[in-house]
Structure 1
Amino acid sequence: MSGVVERSPALLVPGLTGSKEDFLAVLQTLAHSGRRVVAIDLRGQYETPGPEEPGAYTCAALGADVDAVAQVVGGGESIHLVGHSFGGLVAREAVIDGRTKFTSFTLMSAGPAGIVGRRARDSRQIMEEVPDRGLEHVWHTGLEREALTGGVSDEILSFLHKRMLANSPTGLARMAEQVLTMRDRTDELREIEVPALVLFGEQDDGWPTESQVEMSVRLQAECVVVPGAAHSPAVEAPETTAAALIRFWNAAEARLLDTRSDLV
Protein backbone atom coordinates (compact mmCIF):
# COMPACT_ATOMS: atom_id res chain seq x y z
CA MET A 1 0.00 0.00 0.00
CA SER A 2 1.31 3.48 -0.85
CA GLY A 3 0.59 7.02 0.20
CA VAL A 4 2.52 9.96 -1.21
CA VAL A 5 5.90 8.30 -1.50
CA GLU A 6 8.53 10.57 0.03
CA ARG A 7 10.23 8.35 2.59
CA SER A 8 12.01 5.00 2.72
CA PRO A 9 9.71 2.04 1.97
CA ALA A 10 9.00 -0.72 4.46
CA LEU A 11 8.71 -4.50 4.24
CA LEU A 12 6.58 -6.43 6.75
CA VAL A 13 7.17 -10.16 7.39
CA PRO A 14 4.52 -12.31 9.16
CA GLY A 15 4.81 -15.05 11.76
CA LEU A 16 4.54 -18.84 11.65
CA THR A 17 0.81 -19.34 11.08
CA GLY A 18 0.28 -15.84 9.76
CA SER A 19 0.26 -14.06 6.41
CA LYS A 20 0.37 -10.57 4.92
CA GLU A 21 -3.20 -10.00 6.11
CA ASP A 22 -1.96 -9.77 9.71
CA PHE A 23 -0.78 -6.24 8.88
CA LEU A 24 -4.00 -4.98 7.26
CA ALA A 25 -4.98 -2.87 10.26
CA VAL A 26 -1.74 -0.84 10.15
CA LEU A 27 -1.08 -0.60 6.40
CA GLN A 28 -3.14 2.50 5.66
CA THR A 29 -1.71 4.50 8.57
CA LEU A 30 1.83 3.47 7.67
CA ALA A 31 1.32 4.32 3.99
CA HIS A 32 -0.12 7.72 4.86
CA SER A 33 3.19 8.54 6.53
CA GLY A 34 4.61 9.03 3.04
CA ARG A 35 6.10 5.68 2.13
CA ARG A 36 5.45 2.50 0.22
CA VAL A 37 4.61 -0.36 2.59
CA VAL A 38 4.65 -3.99 1.46
CA ALA A 39 3.43 -6.97 3.50
CA ILE A 40 4.23 -10.47 2.24
CA ASP A 41 3.55 -14.14 2.82
CA LEU A 42 6.64 -16.24 3.36
CA ARG A 43 7.10 -19.05 0.85
CA GLY A 44 4.66 -21.86 1.59
CA GLN A 45 2.31 -19.52 3.46
CA TYR A 46 -1.27 -18.92 2.36
CA GLU A 47 -1.15 -17.45 -1.18
CA THR A 48 2.58 -17.89 -1.81
CA PRO A 49 3.43 -21.43 -2.94
CA GLY A 50 6.58 -23.22 -1.91
CA PRO A 51 8.38 -26.48 -2.69
CA GLU A 52 7.88 -29.73 -0.79
CA GLU A 53 11.49 -29.67 0.33
CA PRO A 54 12.12 -29.11 4.05
CA GLY A 55 15.41 -27.34 3.41
CA ALA A 56 13.53 -24.54 1.66
CA TYR A 57 11.99 -23.46 4.97
CA THR A 58 14.96 -22.82 7.22
CA CYS A 59 15.33 -19.32 8.64
CA ALA A 60 18.37 -18.84 6.41
CA ALA A 61 16.51 -19.85 3.24
CA LEU A 62 13.50 -17.71 4.10
CA GLY A 63 15.82 -14.85 5.03
CA ALA A 64 17.30 -15.03 1.53
CA ASP A 65 13.78 -14.58 0.16
CA VAL A 66 13.37 -11.49 2.34
CA ASP A 67 16.64 -10.16 0.93
CA ALA A 68 15.40 -10.64 -2.63
CA VAL A 69 12.05 -8.97 -1.95
CA ALA A 70 13.70 -6.11 -0.05
CA GLN A 71 15.99 -5.34 -2.98
CA VAL A 72 13.00 -5.14 -5.33
CA VAL A 73 10.90 -3.05 -2.95
CA GLY A 74 13.78 -0.70 -2.25
CA GLY A 75 14.90 -0.43 -5.85
CA GLY A 76 18.48 -0.68 -4.71
CA GLU A 77 18.03 1.71 -1.78
CA SER A 78 17.78 0.73 1.87
CA ILE A 79 14.38 0.01 3.40
CA HIS A 80 12.77 -0.55 6.79
CA LEU A 81 12.27 -4.18 7.79
CA VAL A 82 9.72 -5.50 10.30
CA GLY A 83 9.44 -9.14 11.37
CA HIS A 84 6.58 -10.40 13.52
CA SER A 85 7.18 -13.42 15.80
CA PHE A 86 8.77 -16.18 13.67
CA GLY A 87 9.03 -13.56 10.94
CA GLY A 88 11.37 -11.67 13.26
CA LEU A 89 13.75 -14.63 13.32
CA VAL A 90 13.56 -14.86 9.53
CA ALA A 91 14.04 -11.13 8.99
CA ARG A 92 16.98 -11.18 11.41
CA GLU A 93 18.76 -13.60 9.05
CA ALA A 94 18.38 -11.10 6.22
CA VAL A 95 19.90 -8.32 8.32
CA ILE A 96 22.81 -10.42 9.57
CA ASP A 97 23.76 -11.88 6.18
CA GLY A 98 24.60 -8.37 4.98
CA ARG A 99 23.37 -8.77 1.41
CA THR A 100 20.85 -5.95 1.79
CA LYS A 101 21.26 -2.61 3.55
CA PHE A 102 18.33 -1.82 5.85
CA THR A 103 17.40 1.61 7.15
CA SER A 104 16.02 0.01 10.31
CA PHE A 105 14.95 -3.32 11.74
CA THR A 106 11.99 -4.00 14.03
CA LEU A 107 11.53 -7.20 16.00
CA MET A 108 7.79 -7.31 16.73
CA SER A 109 6.86 -9.85 19.41
CA ALA A 110 9.98 -11.86 18.60
CA GLY A 111 12.57 -13.12 21.06
CA PRO A 112 16.29 -13.82 20.88
CA ALA A 113 16.10 -17.61 20.38
CA GLY A 114 13.55 -20.46 20.21
CA ILE A 115 10.06 -19.66 21.42
CA VAL A 116 8.91 -20.90 24.82
CA GLY A 117 5.68 -21.24 26.81
CA ARG A 118 2.22 -21.91 25.41
CA ARG A 119 3.10 -20.92 21.88
CA ALA A 120 5.99 -23.37 22.00
CA ARG A 121 3.44 -26.10 22.68
CA ASP A 122 1.42 -24.96 19.66
CA SER A 123 4.53 -24.99 17.49
CA ARG A 124 5.49 -28.44 18.73
CA GLN A 125 2.03 -29.75 17.85
CA ILE A 126 2.42 -28.36 14.33
CA MET A 127 5.89 -29.85 13.95
CA GLU A 128 4.88 -33.28 15.23
CA GLU A 129 1.31 -33.70 13.97
CA VAL A 130 1.04 -31.90 10.62
CA PRO A 131 3.21 -34.43 8.70
CA ASP A 132 1.14 -37.41 9.85
CA ARG A 133 -2.31 -36.06 10.69
CA GLY A 134 -2.59 -33.04 8.43
CA LEU A 135 -3.47 -29.37 8.62
CA GLU A 136 -7.19 -29.92 9.24
CA HIS A 137 -6.48 -31.96 12.37
CA VAL A 138 -4.13 -29.34 13.80
CA TRP A 139 -6.63 -26.60 13.01
CA HIS A 140 -9.48 -28.30 14.87
CA THR A 141 -7.39 -29.38 17.86
CA GLY A 142 -5.39 -26.20 18.32
CA LEU A 143 -5.74 -23.00 16.35
CA GLU A 144 -9.53 -23.12 16.01
CA ARG A 145 -9.91 -23.36 19.78
CA GLU A 146 -7.63 -20.37 20.24
CA ALA A 147 -9.63 -18.32 17.74
CA LEU A 148 -12.95 -19.23 19.35
CA THR A 149 -11.61 -18.38 22.79
CA GLY A 150 -10.57 -14.99 21.41
CA GLY A 151 -14.13 -14.36 20.29
CA VAL A 152 -13.37 -13.73 16.61
CA SER A 153 -16.25 -13.24 14.18
CA ASP A 154 -17.50 -16.01 11.91
CA GLU A 155 -15.99 -14.18 8.94
CA ILE A 156 -12.53 -14.03 10.47
CA LEU A 157 -12.78 -17.62 11.69
CA SER A 158 -13.58 -18.72 8.13
CA PHE A 159 -10.56 -16.80 6.83
CA LEU A 160 -8.23 -18.27 9.45
CA HIS A 161 -9.41 -21.78 8.55
CA LYS A 162 -8.93 -21.14 4.84
CA ARG A 163 -5.48 -19.68 5.45
CA MET A 164 -4.39 -22.60 7.61
CA LEU A 165 -5.36 -25.16 4.98
CA ALA A 166 -3.58 -23.19 2.24
CA ASN A 167 -0.19 -23.56 3.93
CA SER A 168 2.38 -26.02 2.69
CA PRO A 169 2.33 -28.87 5.26
CA THR A 170 6.04 -29.45 4.74
CA GLY A 171 6.78 -25.77 5.07
CA LEU A 172 4.66 -25.23 8.17
CA ALA A 173 6.13 -28.23 9.99
CA ARG A 174 9.68 -27.19 9.16
CA MET A 175 9.08 -23.58 10.16
CA ALA A 176 7.59 -24.77 13.46
CA GLU A 177 10.79 -26.71 14.08
CA GLN A 178 12.82 -23.59 13.31
CA VAL A 179 10.88 -21.37 15.72
CA LEU A 180 11.43 -23.94 18.47
CA THR A 181 15.16 -24.52 17.93
CA MET A 182 16.56 -21.23 16.60
CA ARG A 183 19.74 -20.18 18.37
CA ASP A 184 20.37 -16.76 19.87
CA ARG A 185 21.96 -14.45 17.29
CA THR A 186 21.53 -11.20 19.20
CA ASP A 187 25.26 -10.49 19.44
CA GLU A 188 25.69 -11.01 15.70
CA LEU A 189 22.78 -8.68 15.01
CA ARG A 190 24.29 -6.03 17.26
CA GLU A 191 27.46 -6.05 15.15
CA ILE A 192 25.48 -4.94 12.07
CA GLU A 193 24.73 -1.58 13.71
CA VAL A 194 21.35 -1.13 12.08
CA PRO A 195 18.89 0.99 14.11
CA ALA A 196 16.70 -1.53 15.91
CA LEU A 197 13.35 -1.47 17.66
CA VAL A 198 12.00 -4.18 19.94
CA LEU A 199 8.20 -3.86 20.10
CA PHE A 200 5.73 -6.18 21.83
CA GLY A 201 2.42 -6.23 23.65
CA GLU A 202 2.37 -5.89 27.41
CA GLN A 203 0.49 -9.21 27.60
CA ASP A 204 2.62 -11.07 25.05
CA ASP A 205 2.20 -14.84 25.46
CA GLY A 206 4.98 -15.73 23.04
CA TRP A 207 8.49 -14.97 24.22
CA PRO A 208 8.57 -13.69 27.81
CA THR A 209 8.47 -9.91 27.93
CA GLU A 210 11.54 -9.98 30.18
CA SER A 211 13.59 -11.74 27.52
CA GLN A 212 12.51 -9.21 24.90
CA VAL A 213 13.48 -6.30 27.15
CA GLU A 214 16.85 -7.95 27.83
CA MET A 215 17.34 -8.45 24.08
CA SER A 216 16.69 -4.75 23.47
CA VAL A 217 19.36 -3.87 26.04
CA ARG A 218 21.86 -6.19 24.39
CA LEU A 219 21.07 -4.61 21.02
CA GLN A 220 21.14 -1.08 22.45
CA ALA A 221 17.77 -0.85 20.75
CA GLU A 222 14.68 1.17 21.51
CA CYS A 223 12.02 -0.85 23.33
CA VAL A 224 8.28 -0.16 23.03
CA VAL A 225 5.67 -2.01 25.08
CA VAL A 226 2.19 -1.67 23.56
CA PRO A 227 -0.55 -1.31 26.19
CA GLY A 228 -3.49 -3.67 25.89
CA ALA A 229 -1.84 -5.86 23.24
CA ALA A 230 -0.68 -9.47 23.44
CA HIS A 231 1.30 -11.33 20.77
CA SER A 232 -0.09 -9.48 17.72
CA PRO A 233 0.07 -5.73 18.41
CA ALA A 234 -0.54 -4.86 14.75
CA VAL A 235 -3.94 -6.54 15.12
CA GLU A 236 -4.74 -5.81 18.76
CA ALA A 237 -3.54 -2.18 18.98
CA PRO A 238 -3.00 -1.06 15.37
CA GLU A 239 -2.93 2.72 15.82
CA THR A 240 -0.49 2.60 18.74
CA THR A 241 1.69 0.12 16.85
CA ALA A 242 1.64 2.13 13.62
CA ALA A 243 2.48 5.36 15.48
CA ALA A 244 5.47 3.70 17.16
CA LEU A 245 6.75 2.35 13.85
CA ILE A 246 6.38 5.70 12.06
CA ARG A 247 8.17 7.61 14.80
CA PHE A 248 11.01 5.05 14.82
CA TRP A 249 11.27 5.00 11.03
CA ASN A 250 11.39 8.80 10.80
CA ALA A 251 14.15 8.92 13.40
CA ALA A 252 16.13 6.22 11.59
CA GLU A 253 15.81 8.11 8.30
CA ALA A 254 16.96 11.34 9.92
CA ARG A 255 19.97 9.50 11.36
CA LEU A 256 20.79 8.07 7.93
CA LEU A 257 20.63 11.54 6.34
CA ASP A 258 22.94 12.93 9.04
CA THR A 259 25.41 10.13 8.38
CA ARG A 260 25.38 10.79 4.64
CA SER A 261 25.87 14.52 5.25
CA ASP A 262 28.91 13.80 7.39
CA LEU A 263 30.42 11.78 4.54
CA VAL A 264 30.04 14.57 1.98
Structure 2
Amino acid sequence: MALRASANGIEIAYDTFGSPGGRPLLLIMGLGSQMIHWDEEFCTLLADGGHHVIRFDNRDVGESTHFHDAGTPSFGPVSSADAPYLLGDMADDAAGLLDALGLESAHVAGVSMGGMIAQAMAIRHPDRVRSLTSIMSTPSPQAAPPTEAAMAALMSPPSPDRETAIARALETWKVIASPGYPFDADRIARLAGLSYDRAYDPAGVARQLAAIMASGDRAPLLKELSVPALVLHGEQDQLVPLPGGIATADAVPGARLVTYPGMGHDLPRPLWPEFAAEIGGLTAAAER
Protein backbone atom coordinates (compact mmCIF):
# COMPACT_ATOMS: atom_id res chain seq x y z
CA MET A 1 0.00 0.00 0.00
CA ALA A 2 1.43 3.36 -1.02
CA LEU A 3 2.21 6.08 1.49
CA ARG A 4 0.47 9.43 1.05
CA ALA A 5 1.61 13.04 1.37
CA SER A 6 -0.03 16.42 0.93
CA ALA A 7 1.98 18.50 -1.52
CA ASN A 8 1.27 21.56 -3.67
CA GLY A 9 -2.42 21.38 -2.78
CA ILE A 10 -2.91 17.74 -3.84
CA GLU A 11 -2.42 14.25 -2.41
CA ILE A 12 0.55 12.30 -3.74
CA ALA A 13 1.00 8.54 -3.38
CA TYR A 14 4.61 7.44 -2.98
CA ASP A 15 6.90 4.80 -1.54
CA THR A 16 10.60 4.49 -0.79
CA PHE A 17 13.50 2.06 -1.00
CA GLY A 18 16.79 2.00 0.88
CA SER A 19 18.14 3.79 3.91
CA PRO A 20 16.82 7.30 4.68
CA GLY A 21 20.47 8.21 5.16
CA GLY A 22 21.29 7.45 1.52
CA ARG A 23 21.57 9.98 -1.28
CA PRO A 24 17.94 11.03 -1.92
CA LEU A 25 16.86 10.10 -5.45
CA LEU A 26 13.43 11.17 -6.70
CA LEU A 27 12.14 9.10 -9.64
CA ILE A 28 9.52 10.66 -11.94
CA MET A 29 7.56 8.42 -14.30
CA GLY A 30 6.27 9.17 -17.79
CA LEU A 31 2.96 9.83 -19.52
CA GLY A 32 0.10 7.76 -18.13
CA SER A 33 2.51 5.53 -16.22
CA GLN A 34 2.24 4.92 -12.51
CA MET A 35 5.08 4.68 -10.02
CA ILE A 36 4.92 0.87 -10.25
CA HIS A 37 6.52 1.21 -13.69
CA TRP A 38 9.70 1.98 -11.76
CA ASP A 39 10.28 -1.73 -11.16
CA GLU A 40 10.91 -2.69 -7.53
CA GLU A 41 13.99 -4.66 -8.58
CA PHE A 42 15.43 -1.61 -10.33
CA CYS A 43 14.61 0.60 -7.33
CA THR A 44 16.37 -1.90 -5.07
CA LEU A 45 19.38 -1.84 -7.38
CA LEU A 46 19.52 1.95 -7.03
CA ALA A 47 19.07 1.67 -3.25
CA ASP A 48 21.89 -0.85 -3.04
CA GLY A 49 24.04 1.77 -4.78
CA GLY A 50 23.64 4.14 -1.83
CA HIS A 51 20.41 5.92 -2.70
CA HIS A 52 17.28 6.60 -0.69
CA VAL A 53 14.87 6.06 -3.59
CA ILE A 54 11.49 7.80 -3.74
CA ARG A 55 8.99 6.93 -6.47
CA PHE A 56 5.53 8.46 -6.73
CA ASP A 57 2.36 8.71 -8.80
CA ASN A 58 2.15 11.94 -10.79
CA ARG A 59 -1.13 13.83 -10.60
CA ASP A 60 -3.89 12.21 -12.67
CA VAL A 61 -2.50 8.67 -12.46
CA GLY A 62 -2.49 5.93 -9.85
CA GLU A 63 -3.41 6.83 -6.30
CA SER A 64 -2.49 10.53 -6.44
CA THR A 65 -5.11 13.26 -6.94
CA HIS A 66 -7.04 13.10 -10.22
CA PHE A 67 -8.38 16.29 -11.79
CA HIS A 68 -11.72 14.79 -12.84
CA ASP A 69 -13.49 18.17 -12.83
CA ALA A 70 -11.13 19.40 -15.56
CA GLY A 71 -12.64 16.98 -18.06
CA THR A 72 -10.95 15.67 -21.19
CA PRO A 73 -8.96 18.17 -23.27
CA SER A 74 -9.64 18.38 -26.98
CA PHE A 75 -6.53 18.11 -29.11
CA GLY A 76 -5.50 20.27 -31.98
CA PRO A 77 -3.33 23.33 -31.48
CA VAL A 78 -2.97 23.34 -27.71
CA SER A 79 -2.13 26.52 -25.83
CA SER A 80 -1.51 26.88 -22.12
CA ALA A 81 -5.11 28.10 -21.79
CA ASP A 82 -6.37 24.77 -23.16
CA ALA A 83 -4.48 22.60 -20.66
CA PRO A 84 -5.79 22.26 -17.08
CA TYR A 85 -2.17 22.42 -15.85
CA LEU A 86 1.37 22.49 -17.22
CA LEU A 87 4.52 20.47 -16.66
CA GLY A 88 5.65 23.26 -14.34
CA ASP A 89 2.73 22.46 -12.04
CA MET A 90 3.79 18.82 -12.02
CA ALA A 91 7.34 19.91 -11.19
CA ASP A 92 5.90 21.91 -8.29
CA ASP A 93 4.17 18.70 -7.14
CA ALA A 94 7.56 16.97 -7.05
CA ALA A 95 9.13 19.84 -5.11
CA GLY A 96 6.16 19.77 -2.75
CA LEU A 97 6.73 16.07 -2.13
CA LEU A 98 10.29 16.86 -1.07
CA ASP A 99 8.84 19.41 1.37
CA ALA A 100 6.45 16.80 2.77
CA LEU A 101 9.34 14.37 3.24
CA GLY A 102 11.51 16.97 4.95
CA LEU A 103 14.09 17.02 2.15
CA GLU A 104 15.74 20.30 1.19
CA SER A 105 16.92 18.79 -2.10
CA ALA A 106 17.33 15.52 -3.99
CA HIS A 107 18.85 13.98 -7.05
CA VAL A 108 16.10 13.82 -9.67
CA ALA A 109 15.68 11.30 -12.49
CA GLY A 110 12.77 11.13 -14.92
CA VAL A 111 11.78 9.09 -17.95
CA SER A 112 9.93 10.48 -20.98
CA MET A 113 7.36 12.97 -19.61
CA GLY A 114 9.03 12.40 -16.25
CA GLY A 115 12.27 13.67 -17.78
CA MET A 116 10.41 16.77 -18.93
CA ILE A 117 9.08 17.28 -15.40
CA ALA A 118 12.59 16.77 -14.00
CA GLN A 119 13.89 19.40 -16.43
CA ALA A 120 11.13 21.80 -15.37
CA MET A 121 11.93 21.11 -11.71
CA ALA A 122 15.59 21.98 -12.26
CA ILE A 123 14.52 25.22 -13.97
CA ARG A 124 11.86 26.24 -11.42
CA HIS A 125 13.53 24.89 -8.27
CA PRO A 126 17.28 24.84 -8.97
CA ASP A 127 18.16 24.77 -5.28
CA ARG A 128 16.12 21.58 -4.82
CA VAL A 129 17.84 19.54 -7.57
CA ARG A 130 21.27 18.14 -6.70
CA SER A 131 21.63 16.39 -10.06
CA LEU A 132 19.43 15.83 -13.10
CA THR A 133 19.06 12.58 -15.04
CA SER A 134 16.85 12.89 -18.13
CA ILE A 135 15.99 9.53 -19.69
CA MET A 136 14.41 9.11 -23.17
CA SER A 137 13.10 12.67 -22.96
CA THR A 138 13.31 15.99 -24.78
CA PRO A 139 13.20 19.76 -24.15
CA SER A 140 10.11 20.01 -26.39
CA PRO A 141 7.91 17.70 -28.51
CA GLN A 142 9.03 19.58 -31.61
CA ALA A 143 12.66 18.54 -31.03
CA ALA A 144 11.80 14.85 -31.41
CA PRO A 145 8.41 14.11 -33.02
CA PRO A 146 7.25 10.50 -32.65
CA THR A 147 6.99 8.18 -35.61
CA GLU A 148 3.52 7.68 -37.08
CA ALA A 149 3.37 4.14 -35.66
CA ALA A 150 4.33 5.31 -32.18
CA MET A 151 1.83 8.17 -32.23
CA ALA A 152 -0.94 5.83 -33.39
CA ALA A 153 -0.12 3.43 -30.54
CA LEU A 154 -0.09 6.28 -28.02
CA MET A 155 -3.50 7.55 -29.15
CA SER A 156 -5.34 4.22 -28.93
CA PRO A 157 -8.93 4.61 -27.68
CA PRO A 158 -9.94 4.07 -24.04
CA SER A 159 -10.46 0.45 -23.04
CA PRO A 160 -13.91 -0.73 -21.90
CA ASP A 161 -12.53 -3.31 -19.46
CA ARG A 162 -9.42 -4.70 -17.77
CA GLU A 163 -8.78 -7.41 -20.34
CA THR A 164 -8.87 -4.93 -23.21
CA ALA A 165 -6.60 -2.51 -21.31
CA ILE A 166 -3.99 -5.25 -20.92
CA ALA A 167 -4.28 -6.24 -24.59
CA ARG A 168 -3.87 -2.63 -25.75
CA ALA A 169 -0.89 -2.12 -23.46
CA LEU A 170 0.78 -5.12 -25.08
CA GLU A 171 0.01 -3.74 -28.54
CA THR A 172 1.44 -0.32 -27.61
CA TRP A 173 4.64 -1.67 -26.10
CA LYS A 174 5.23 -3.97 -29.06
CA VAL A 175 5.53 -0.80 -31.12
CA ILE A 176 7.62 1.38 -28.80
CA ALA A 177 9.65 -1.13 -26.74
CA SER A 178 13.32 -1.87 -27.37
CA PRO A 179 13.76 -3.91 -30.58
CA GLY A 180 17.24 -5.02 -29.51
CA TYR A 181 16.07 -6.72 -26.32
CA PRO A 182 13.57 -9.50 -25.47
CA PHE A 183 9.94 -8.40 -25.30
CA ASP A 184 8.79 -9.12 -21.74
CA ALA A 185 5.07 -9.67 -22.39
CA ASP A 186 4.44 -11.15 -18.94
CA ARG A 187 5.84 -8.09 -17.16
CA ILE A 188 3.91 -5.66 -19.39
CA ALA A 189 0.65 -7.56 -18.88
CA ARG A 190 1.20 -7.70 -15.12
CA LEU A 191 1.90 -3.95 -14.89
CA ALA A 192 -1.06 -3.12 -17.12
CA GLY A 193 -3.35 -5.15 -14.89
CA LEU A 194 -1.99 -3.60 -11.71
CA SER A 195 -2.29 -0.13 -13.21
CA TYR A 196 -5.90 -0.77 -14.19
CA ASP A 197 -6.68 -2.00 -10.67
CA ARG A 198 -5.02 1.01 -8.99
CA ALA A 199 -6.73 3.62 -11.21
CA TYR A 200 -7.84 3.57 -14.82
CA ASP A 201 -8.33 7.16 -16.00
CA PRO A 202 -7.84 7.79 -19.75
CA ALA A 203 -8.98 11.42 -19.31
CA GLY A 204 -6.19 11.93 -16.77
CA VAL A 205 -3.64 10.68 -19.30
CA ALA A 206 -5.10 13.10 -21.87
CA ARG A 207 -4.67 15.95 -19.38
CA GLN A 208 -1.03 14.97 -18.89
CA LEU A 209 -0.54 14.90 -22.68
CA ALA A 210 -2.09 18.36 -22.93
CA ALA A 211 0.41 19.56 -20.32
CA ILE A 212 3.28 18.26 -22.46
CA MET A 213 1.96 19.92 -25.61
CA ALA A 214 1.20 23.25 -23.93
CA SER A 215 4.41 23.68 -21.94
CA GLY A 216 6.66 25.06 -24.66
CA ASP A 217 10.38 24.63 -25.30
CA ARG A 218 12.58 24.38 -22.18
CA ALA A 219 15.89 24.54 -24.09
CA PRO A 220 16.55 28.28 -23.56
CA LEU A 221 16.06 27.94 -19.80
CA LEU A 222 17.97 24.65 -19.61
CA LYS A 223 20.97 26.52 -21.01
CA GLU A 224 21.01 28.60 -17.82
CA LEU A 225 21.30 25.63 -15.46
CA SER A 226 24.39 24.80 -13.46
CA VAL A 227 23.46 21.29 -12.31
CA PRO A 228 25.37 18.03 -12.86
CA ALA A 229 23.38 16.31 -15.59
CA LEU A 230 23.13 12.98 -17.35
CA VAL A 231 21.09 12.16 -20.46
CA LEU A 232 20.28 8.51 -21.27
CA HIS A 233 18.54 7.64 -24.54
CA GLY A 234 17.77 4.68 -26.76
CA GLU A 235 18.98 4.83 -30.34
CA GLN A 236 15.82 3.08 -31.60
CA ASP A 237 13.26 5.12 -29.66
CA GLN A 238 10.15 5.70 -31.79
CA LEU A 239 8.12 7.72 -29.28
CA VAL A 240 10.81 10.25 -28.35
CA PRO A 241 13.48 9.69 -30.99
CA LEU A 242 17.18 10.16 -30.28
CA PRO A 243 17.27 13.85 -31.38
CA GLY A 244 15.29 14.59 -28.18
CA GLY A 245 18.10 13.26 -26.03
CA ILE A 246 20.70 15.05 -28.11
CA ALA A 247 18.75 18.31 -27.79
CA THR A 248 18.55 17.85 -24.01
CA ALA A 249 22.28 17.22 -23.69
CA ASP A 250 23.07 20.15 -25.97
CA ALA A 251 20.89 22.45 -23.86
CA VAL A 252 22.16 21.59 -20.36
CA PRO A 253 25.71 22.88 -19.88
CA GLY A 254 28.13 20.03 -19.23
CA ALA A 255 25.53 17.28 -19.57
CA ARG A 256 26.83 13.80 -20.38
CA LEU A 257 24.96 11.95 -23.14
CA VAL A 258 24.91 8.13 -23.16
CA THR A 259 23.01 6.33 -25.92
CA TYR A 260 22.14 2.65 -26.23
CA PRO A 261 21.87 0.68 -29.50
CA GLY A 262 18.75 -1.47 -29.64
CA MET A 263 16.97 0.49 -26.89
CA GLY A 264 13.54 1.92 -27.65
CA HIS A 265 11.13 3.76 -25.37
CA ASP A 266 11.44 1.57 -22.31
CA LEU A 267 14.00 0.46 -19.73
CA PRO A 268 15.18 -3.02 -20.80
CA ARG A 269 16.00 -5.24 -17.83
CA PRO A 270 19.47 -6.20 -19.17
CA LEU A 271 20.44 -2.50 -19.06
CA TRP A 272 19.31 -1.90 -15.46
CA PRO A 273 22.82 -2.41 -14.01
CA GLU A 274 24.24 0.08 -16.52
CA PHE A 275 21.51 2.64 -15.80
CA ALA A 276 22.05 2.23 -12.05
CA ALA A 277 25.82 2.62 -12.45
CA GLU A 278 25.44 5.76 -14.59
CA ILE A 279 22.97 7.36 -12.17
CA GLY A 280 25.05 6.32 -9.16
CA GLY A 281 28.19 7.77 -10.71
CA LEU A 282 26.43 11.08 -11.32
CA THR A 283 24.89 11.37 -7.85
CA ALA A 284 28.12 10.36 -6.06
CA ALA A 285 30.12 12.91 -8.05
CA ALA A 286 27.51 15.60 -7.38
CA GLU A 287 27.72 14.93 -3.64
CA ARG A 288 31.48 15.49 -3.75
d(CA) in 1 for partners of 2:94 and 2:268? 20
TM-fit CA distance, 1:64? 1.3
- Structure 1 segment 57-72 matched on structure 2, within 5 A: 57-72=85-100
Is the 1:26–1:234 contact (alpha carbons within 8 Å) kept by the matching residues of 2? no
Q: Distance in 2 between matches of 1:62 and 1:134?
A: 28
Q: Which residue of 1 aligns with 2:43?
A: 27
Deviation at 1:168, TM superposition (A): 2.7
Verify the 8 A CA contact 1:8 1:78 in the aligned structure 2.
no
**Aligned equivalent of 2:131, options 81, 104, 116:** 104
Taking the aligned partners of 2:164 and 2:224, their CA distance within structure 1 comes to 39
Cα gap change, 1:193 to 1:138, in 2 (>3 Å): farther
Gaps of 5+ in 1: 255-264
1:184 partner amino acid: D
For residues 2 and 93 of structure 1, what CA distance do their matches in structure 2 show? 25
Task: Verify: 1:160 aligned to 2:192, yes or no.
Answer: yes
Distance in 2, Cα, partners of 1:156 & 1:211: 25
Q: Percent identity?
A: 24
What letter matches 1:245 in structure 2? I
Q: Give the equivalent residue in structure 1 for 2:239.
A: 206
- Aligned position for 1:120: 151
How much is the aligned-residue C-alpha RMSD, in angstroms? 2.9
Deviation per residue, 1:86-114 (Å, 9 max, x gap): 11112222221127521001111001102
SS in 2 for 1:17: coil
Cα distance in 1 for residues equivalent to 2:270 and 2:201: 27
| Cα distance in 2 for residues equivalent to 1:171 and 1:144 | 20
When normalised by structure 2's length, the TM-score is: 0.74
Structure with the largest fraction of helix:
1
Secondary structure of 1:36's aligned partner: strand
TM-score (norm 1): 0.80
Asked if the contact 1:205/1:231 (under 8 Å) is kept, the reply is yes
Q: Deviations over 1:169-210 (max 9, x none)?
A: 332111122334542112212213122111112322222213
Shift, 1:234, TM fit? 6.0
Is the contact made by 1:81 and 1:91 (CA closer than 8 Å) also made in structure 2?
yes
Classify the secondary structure of the residue corresponding to 1:237: helix
Report which of the two has the higher share of strand. 2
Shift in alpha-carbon separation, 1:145–1:8, aligned structure 2, 3 A: same
1:82 maps to 109
